[in-house]
Amino acid sequence: MNKKFKTASIYDKSAEMYAEKFSKPTEHLEEFFKLLPRKAKLLDVGCGTGTNAAYAASKGYRITAIDSSEKMIRIAKNRNPRIDFRLGDMRSVRTDAEKFDGIIASYSLIHIPKNELRRIINKLSSMLSRKGAIYISIHTGKSQEIFMDIPTIRAKSLFLNIMTTGETKGLLESADLEIVVAHERFPQKNKIGFNKLFIIAIKKDEKRHL
């Protein structure tokens, strides 16, 4: 079983607990929203049970949200039937289908192996409209690929790609993305022992002030 399908099956088993534990939007989304036009068209890749997508929709944005976990998508649809939730993987999303004003990738890129990540980030960049922005949240630390148990959602042997802050920024910059916001937070007690990095970037040459 490859990493993609194993990750999806792990989240299928953990979906209900995940929905309970992660019921609030991730940090710094408001800063991301400030860069978007009214009624912007958004894509949420690795949307989980739909918390961020629902929050974006409540702000008036049109959002399409995808996840590779069938059970997570089912929960997301049940909670927010008016949002366009789709079962899918960011690796197979068509880049020529449509453009988006903004893309959210919240703790989803951490499940992409290092040898695929540059291609995925380039793909996401190509899906942004001319003035598009991307919001990314990941775990950072010593550069490594690991399989880790996550007790808070009872997930076992979950694949994680941990990158350094510099490594992450370099991948974004090489994909014609200009970083305008970056926040890093150190782990709290009883949490996963990695830093949290929140980055907002825009297509190069389109920098605007927050």
Asked if the structure places residue 36 within a domain, the reply is yes
CATH code at position 195: 3.40.50.150
Domain of residue 155, residue span: 3-203
| Domain count along the chain | 1
> Is 93 domain-assigned?
yes
Whether residue 84 is contained in a domain is answered as: yes
pLDDT digit string, tens, across residues 175-193: 999 999 999 998 765 455 7
The answer to whether residue 52 sits within a structural domain is yes
Structure tokens at 57: 């929709």
Q: Where are any strands of DSSP class E within 124-191?
A: 128-140, 144-150, 155-162, 177-185
For position 2, what pLDDT does the model report? 53
Tens of pLDDT, residues 68-110: 999 999 999 999 999 999 999 998 887 677 899 999 999 999 9
210 in a structural domain: no
62 in any annotated domain: yes
d(CA 167, CA 65): 27
Asked if residue 208 is part of any domain, the answer here is no
> Using CA atoms, how far apart are residues 184 and 177, in angstroms rounded to an integer?
19
The whole-number average pLDDT for the span 114-140 is 96
